[in-house]
Amino acid sequence: MEKYNTFKQEGNILIHTRILDAPRDLVWEVWTTPEHIKEWWGPDGFSLTIKSMNVEPGKTWDSIMHGWGRDFDSKVEYLEVKKPSLLSYKHFGESEDYDFTVSVLFEEVEGKTLQTMKSVFKSKEIIEDLNRRFNVIEAGRQTLNRLENYLKISVEK
């Protein structure tokens, strides 16, 4: 089954596949109902408040993620809703350039569900930009950590 778990980049698209040990109808349900999705969605250690969730083309899912002592708004607009095989939505980024669309395909394979998630960004350059900025943020964070440790050591002396 491991062969079904893959990840690759094709230009501006990131593709993630995963085999899930559950019937397709159930997988569909946990993706599309608020009481289920809040049990697994979002970063670890975060909680989720769902303001509204309307799984229909053109309708939205509005929520707030709580974590790291902060609130993060999250909004997606559903594009295609074809129960139980295809769900696609647009994820709103910090600006229009950073919006991306995600399609999740559910297929029945040997009694399990093969889930293929495709995230389509505006361009390959956007992905590269995110890579670069992430790196800058990470580098900045590490520098701050080092400064913090250094200050601690200095104070202890």
Q: Does the footprint of another protein cover residue 130 (CB under 8 A)?
A: yes
If binding is defined by CB under 8 A, does position 47 make contact with another protein? no
Q: Is 16 in the site for another protein (CB under 8 A)?
A: yes
For 84, the token pair is: 């139980």
According to the binding rule CB under 8 A, does residue 22 interact with another protein? yes
Does a cis peptide bond (omega within 30 degrees of 0) precede residue 84? yes
Instruction: Confirm or reject binding of residue 26 to another protein (CB under 8 A).
Output: yes
Would you count residue 141 as binding another protein (CB under 8 A)? no
Determine contact, residues 118/15, Cβ cutoff 8 Å.
Answer: yes
Q: Choose the binding region for another protein from 12-20, 45-53, 54-62, 83-91 (rule: CB under 8 A).
A: 12-20
Q: How far is the CB of 147 from another protein (least distance, A)?
A: 19
Closer residue to another protein, CB minimum distance, 47 or 151: 47
CB closer to another protein, 57 vs 140: 140
We find the least distance from the C-beta atom of residue 157 to another protein, in angstroms, to be 30
DSSP bridge pairs for 89 = 78, 102
The site for another protein (CB under 8 A) is made up of 7, 9, 14, 16, 18, 20-22, 26-27, 30, 36, 39-41, 43-44, 115, 117, 119, 125, 127-135, 138
